[in-house]
Structure 1
């Protein structure tokens, strides 16, 4: 112990998961499937093992994509991947969603429900978020573009909003249309469509696709590509989620007699972190090269995603331990220094100090990736170690059976179906 304070560890006993899911699709279609699916898993399989298995499938999908398209160009650069890769991404994401949905059910079956599962579940979700942005943007034929950057910002913003809302309200709220349910199913469909028609399908104009190019008045509208139209619609979704999350937070603050505007200030850490990353990307084209147009774009996004996972991981830890909301992140200093170095031609009319060549910039980007991985890995290791030691549990091991043949801390086997 040592990373989490003694008082914060005591607060773990007060934690209880609360969730609301308003999705009819989840209630009437997916949840019955998940309730059946969890019964296929033996009681000796730990919930966190299921969660990690789902993330491992996504890692495999990601590795496969980079194997066939290592420079992240998709059809735009003449790289044509086998169709089965997109189908595997579709199946992989469906399995990830299913595994992510049943880990909580398995936790209740085995008596392992608690704050560690909450931390582990959200941590895997945070890493999956960036990986799916990269893969989905490739499937949409966006590749190295500002649309992919916008997708990263929008997706991370949704995740941050959900975590911010849960911290202030004490419950995870999923509306009639939410990212973890309908949003994931849409991405699954995108992968499947790209598997049938290829990523170039998404460059088709929306009016052309709908056969409206000869309809008077309508044909005067811009024939926006399907991928651009999808991204534009997603932007409105982020705006809607922002006001919906704040409405829930405001209601909770009023009920508790607390200020309703102050929570909005805690959205600034995300704005600052995203702003620093974009600042690095928009640097002048020194030596006729730009980070967003290079093969370093994917490792850059991965480093960004790991820093984000660390950021929201600390938010979730603050939630389960009832400690103050984390505001400062030391990785900002490193990323800002890199961004300033890249922008020296604009800021000081001089060449960058480090990023003077593609080789130097590659070294810096991969070093940033390594530091981001190390920081997040250290956080996960220390938090898991503190919680497991304090609560007397193991991360990937289910508690032993008692003398009556039941798992310690779980419901009796006769109640297993009810609990699941």
Structure 2
């Protein structure tokens, strides 16, 4: 059972990556560094190996966070991790950004640029998104709160918008301020500041007017002295709103140029609204004591399961883009999460106790089972798609093709025949 229809496999040969980056920081500072950095990597290192290495660094950071704060109690003066942990998160994320930026350059150096790299790159980005939300929320002293949920929803929304836009325009567009460039560097700064201050994440509870020493300035001191972490969340909300209109403007321009309807693409935003709504419905179930998911150690595994389901969703979107296939409206994982959400909300819906999540132990079993099913579903998707693409195109995922005596790139596997089978 595969994910790519036989007729869509042929479109893999037609795919060519197109990207636009308008960031001055990227153009004048980061890109020169990335151009130098890629030269440090031997030509026998596959681009996907670089991408995976970056994700592994983030996974190490995430494991370190769970080691020092296993129950995720950072909110309002909870666990303060050693300073070096925050510094390592900053270094790990910066290296992830660098690895993510040079994998395409390495692909061009080794003649391995193609749809597989696009799929692998975006797949790692999708998983990194949720991991960074959890770690950054800990560093911001948000912890188990609806601010963290809002941060997860906003960050995933930005990723979905970018993928949705790329599907309709045929290119990855990064504006003068984008998540993969400036957004990541902002999070690196958050980690660094949390490591520098003795109070750790509690520093971010400082009021913005207090921090800027504006509490005695007339007129300005009439404004609310909002904590720095809450102010950062408000800034993020404006960022999402800006990205929505910017993405649609680019999609509308592309659709007009192609003579296609401009309103229809907006309907393809509904899958994200539905999936995020289901997760929020599960979290908002009418238990407000310490056993509620958002108030318990189940919060982190719940967010991880949500992130894996999202990675599966956008992975299918990217696959549709590189194979010129119809946009995926439906994801079967919605049914699983919807069952969990409905069961948890039965007291509010029909006035009876949940069928499965009747106590804290059962709720933990359901959440961890959801995490396991989400992981298996996404791992299965990645494995099957990689196998299908490599078998059809006659390439390998983590092996670099070699040059023959005439300087031409040789396939690492036998090339495919007209029916997609290896000759």
Q: CA deviation at 1:404?
A: 4.0
Q: Is the 8 A contact 1:206 1:229 kept in 2?
A: yes
SS at match of 1:70: coil
- The farther-off stretch of 213-222 and 130-139 is 213-222
Determine helix, strand or coil for the equivalent of 2:76: helix
Q: C-alpha deviations, 1:199-218, integer Å up to 9, x for none? A: 00000000110111111221
1:209 to 208, 211, 233: 211
Query: What is the count of residue pairs matched by the alignment?
Result: 410
Among 302, 305, 309, the alignment partner of 2:304 is: 302
Q: Give the conservation status (yes or no) of the 8 Å contact 1:167–1:316.
A: yes
CA distance in 1, matches of 2:238, 2:80: 32
Matches within 5 A, 1:13-412: 13-74=13-74, 76=76, 78-197=78-197, 198-285=200-287, 289-404=291-406, 407-408=409-410
Higher mean C-alpha displacement, 37-46 vs 395-404: 395-404
Q: d(CA) in 2 for partners of 1:75 and 1:392?
A: 50
Distance of 1:9 and 1:409 partners within structure 2: 18
Q: Which residue of 1 aligns with 2:9?
A: 9
Check whether the contact 1:130–1:305 (CA below 8 A) recurs between aligned residues.
yes
Offset at residue 135 of structure 1 (A)? 0.3
2: CA distance between counterparts of 1:220 and 1:62?
40
Q: How many angstroms apart in 2 are the aligned matches of 1:144 and 1:373?
A: 23
Unmatched runs of 5 consecutive residues or more in structure 1: 411-420
Q: SS at the partner of 2:184? A: helix
Shift of 1:406: 5.9
Change (3 A) 1:75 1:263: closer
SS in 1 for 2:340: helix
Task: Give the Cα–Cα distance (whole angstroms) in 2 for the partners of residues 33 and 364 of structure 1.
Answer: 46
Which string of whole-angstrom CA distances, capped at 9 and with x for unpartnered residues, describes residues 140-182 of structure 1? Answer: 0000000000000000000000000000000000000000000
Which residue number in structure 2 is paired with residue 416 of structure 1?
none
Aligned 8 A contact 1:314 1:326 in 2: yes
CA displacement 1:272-315 (0-9 Å, x = unmatched): 00000000000011776311010000000000000000000000
Question: Contact 2:293–2:299 (CA<8 Å) still a contact in 1?
Answer: yes
> Normalising to structure 2: TM-score of the pair?
0.95
2-structure distance, mates of 1:342, 1:182: 39
Post-superposition offset of 1:405 = 5.8
- Matched residue SS, 1:112: coil
Show CA shifts across 1:101-144 (max 9, x none).
00000000000000000000000000000000000000000000
**What CA distance in whole angstroms lies between the structure 2 residues aligned with 1:286 and 1:79?**
22
Structure with more contact order per residue of length (Cα contacts < 8 Å, sep ≥ 6): 1
Distance 1:287 1:250 in 2: 47
1:350 Cα shift? 1.0
Runs of 5+ unmatched residues, structure 2: 413-423
Counterparts of 1:408 and 1:22 in 2: how far apart (Å)?
35
Q: CA deviation at 1:74?
A: 1.9
Superposed displacement of residue 407, structure 1: 4.4
Q: Quote the residue 2:421 is aligned against.
A: none
Alpha-carbon distance change, 252 to 405 in structure 1, aligned in 2, over 3 angstroms:
closer
Q: Is the 8 A contact 1:61 1:92 kept in 2?
A: yes
CA distance in 2, matches of 1:79, 1:173: 39
Deviations 1:7-35 (A, max 9, x none): 11100011000000000100010000000
**Displacement of 1:232:** 0.3
Equivalent position of 2:420 in the other structure: none
In the alignment, is the contact (CA less than 8 A) between 2:290 and 2:296 conserved in 1?
no
- CA contact 1:287–1:357 (8 Å) conserved in 2: no
Alignment partners' CA distance in 1, 2:74 and 2:235 = 23
Deviation of 1:408 after TM superposition, in Å, equals: 3.2
Residues in 2 aligned to 1:172 and 1:408: alpha-carbon distance in whole angstroms: 29
Give the Å deviation of 1:2.
3.7
Encode CA deviations 1:210-234: one digit per residue, 9 max, x unaligned.
1111112211111100000000011
